[in-house]
Amino acid sequence: MLRDRLKKDLLIFDGAMGTQLQNAGLKAGEIPEVYNIEYPEIIIDIHERYLKAGADFITANTFGCNPLKMNDSGYCYCDLLKAAIKNAKIARERVNKEAYIVLDIGPIGQLLEPLGTLSLDEAYEIIASQVLMVKDDVDVVLLETMTDLYEVKAGILAVKENSDLPVFVTMTFEQNKRTLTGSDSITFVNVVEGLGADALGVNCSLGPTELKPIIDELLENTSLPILVQPNAGLPCLEDGQTKYQMTSSAFVEGMMDYMHQGVSMVGGCCGTTPEFIAAIKKVAPCHVTPRQVKKYTRVSSQNQTVTFNGQVVVCGERLNPTGKKKLKAALKEERYDECVVEGIKQQQAGADILDVNVGLPGIDEPSTMVKVIRLLQEVINLPLQIDSSSPAAIEKACRYYNGKPLINSVNGKDEVMEAIFPIVKKYGGVVIGLTLEDGIPLLAEERLKIARKIINKAAEYGIGKENIIIDCLTLTASAQQKEVQETLKALTLVKQELGVHTVLGVSNVSFGLPNRPLLNRTFLTLALHSGLDLPIINPLDQQLMDSIAAYNVLYNFDQDSSHYIVMQSNVQLETVKNPSTFTLEDMIIHGLKDEVQTKTKEVLQAHEAMDVINQMIIPALNQVGQDYETNKIFLPQLMQSAQTTKLAFEIVKSTFAIDSQTKGPIMMCTVEGDVHDIGKNIVKVVLESYGYQVIDLGKDVKVEKVVEAYHRCHPKMIGLSALMTTTVVNMKRTIEALKAIPVDCPIWVGGAVLTQEIADEIGADYYSEDAMASVTLLNEILKEE
């Protein structure tokens, strides 16, 4: 079986399909998948040549075979999909009957919520339909060139719930070592491993040398088989065509170390050919080099992972309605904005994880949990703890959570473990085990016994110790004073004898006693010394946070006391009572869309419109831009702030007598033959948040339509986007047509296949690599306007 071979035999993937199709006559703008029906002999020949070169896998020509991308192909995506698999089977029958056929699934072509409008369920259904159609005729499903971890989750679930096929996942990373939506390699590993993928890796975007930092991190952090499929170096423009100049020998030289460091599968992406695969086959070792990978307890959001590795991890407790009248009322009245503000406050105060509990009588807990989690994940990077006693709420929350969640909780009762452990295993979470059965044992040894039972039972479900955190349970000193010491003793026993991390709800110790903060921080210090890793506390209690910072210094977890020095230099955070105390700047920075229009109307009563723009909105946007460029926030948060700012601008603009305050207009499109407009749409939203009027011509825009729109719209800048190498030539044609008029405004270009060098060669005036770079560029060029 394929799964058995993955960690033993070094297997060879094929190379690029698009490059071969271009050589066979595919023209710019043509849909590669159409060749499955119109020119099947070309597809079969490409597969055969890769098989003869030594490939163990042939990747079917199905990268874009989904109903959204194939809508304008003239064919039903189902027919194109089936034809592709038929062509692959013919090639396999002719050359190598032992080869594996791969169902290739690329990005759907639309951003998932909250960045876009496509839901997780819609993405799931699209991918499930592809899998169900051909699952009996393929050997593996490859989700490749993925940029959005949420789409990856939809894909893995769709494959695993509708087939028994192995599923491989490769993501494409940019030079900042993150995907388009901000995920780093460790987060990618943590989430995909948890969801049960059979192999993971990297493809496209960069060449073998440029991908080294990413591949090194994968080798260090995942025990799964790794697939590496780089491009043939970086693209350049040659005779009007985008080409890759790296030779097969240089490509193999760049791949040699990976093949001897433990990578399980190697192949190529854009620009690679059967010659490249034959060169790899000639030098590839027969067997996979064994690797030793240390296992860590890790939880993740979409773009931030918390690793338990000595230093104390703080879980914020304030999103739990127990004992909180205002939060109870907010949840019952569906005022979820208050939950978001509370989450922001805890993040600002230094929490690493946020506990989310919405359990109240009379509330639909599963749906409410999902709503709150979605809203929190729109504006907050932190991993979340799904806190519920309802298996239904935990199941639903885990399904829609974007990342690897912390699940609170399970206990020693057999029926509880049988209900929760399948959820933990399926969605790849880390689970908290409570050391209780029918009640909380008084003695530490009894709690240790239950902890051991939980760990052993979890192992039966394939859940390792690294995905379990044990709660030794804090008892109140006012009622069970002697047992407080038993909790501390249990922490030490669990850490020493079971080797797992520990958690406690610290503030429980002080219920019913005066001066609770004093007891809480004293107990916290004792618990940390006894082996506590994850205190669940109020992070807005500065003395508690100071105690943790001091502990990390004294136990040598905070190297050079760097975090402690910064923390003690900071001004105390102001306590925020409710959303109305957030300034307009706060709302833009944190992306609070639901509140910003009311706040903007409020500030306009006391300030002139231009003062609101220049003294509030623009400084807030500048802060957002700076945070994005320094990796404090990522694309989801940038887009949320941009959309929030756009709403504020609309309110401000409504007070102007005329619309002359809008900057621009700016005209944008994705060039002819290119149906990918995600990048262009992101730039559009961010530009609009800065007050630019954007005229969006759409995607696959013919040259003459761009020229006509220029005469009609008189833009001050023209932006052209391309994702496919085959359409860069159309970008050049568009620029040439515009300059032949000639245009009286600059043209700037961007897109995944573009570089400054290519931009210069095709005659563009400027190049920008992302949305914020576009804003900076336009602000500089048009500052005199």
CA 303, chain centre distance (Å): 5
Q: Residue 81 gets which letter from DSSP?
A: H
Count Cβ atoms below 10 Å from residue 551 Cβ, excluding itself: 19
Determine contact, residues 429/462, Cβ cutoff 8 Å: no
Secondary structure (H, E, C), 478-500? CCCHHHHHHHHHHHHHHHHHHCC
Determine contact, residues 120/400, Cβ cutoff 8 Å: yes
- Would you say 270 is a known binding-site residue? yes
Counted residue by residue, the chain has a size of: 785
In a 3-state reduction of DSSP, which class is residue 138?
coil
- Counting DSSP H helices and E strands in the chain, the numbers are 31, 25
Extract the runs of DSSP E, i.e. beta strands, from 297-429: 297-300, 305-308, 315-316, 353-356, 384-387, 406-410
- Integer angstrom CA distances of residue 58 from 11, 88, 141, 179, 202: 12, 7, 12, 26, 17
- Would you say 472 is a known binding-site residue? no
| Helix-strand-coil split of the chain, %, nearest 5 | 50, 15, 35
Determine contact, residues 59/760, Cβ cutoff 8 Å: no
Determine contact, residues 194/428, Cβ cutoff 8 Å: yes
Integer Cα distance of 750 and 311 in angstroms: 42
Integer Cα distance of 596 and 583 in angstroms: 9
Half-sphere exposure of 273 (CA within 13 A, CB side): 14
Half-sphere exposure of 696 (CA within 13 A, CB side): 14
48: which residues sit within 8 A by CB, 6+ positions away? 91, 94, 95
Integer Cα distance of 236 and 231 in angstroms: 12
Output 476-485 pairs: Cβ under 8 A, ≥24 positions apart.
476/508, 476/509, 476/510, 476/511, 476/512, 477/509, 477/510, 477/513, 477/519, 477/523, 478/510, 478/511, 478/512, 478/513, 479/512, 480/442, 483/442, 484/509, 484/523
Nearest C-alpha neighbor of 472 from the set 449, 459, 482, 462: 449
The per-residue DSSP string of 176-193 comes to: TSB-TT--BHHHHHHHHH
- Would you say 204 is a known binding-site residue? yes
57-59/100-105 β-pairing: parallel
- Binding-site residues for Zn(2+), in ranges, read 204, 269-270
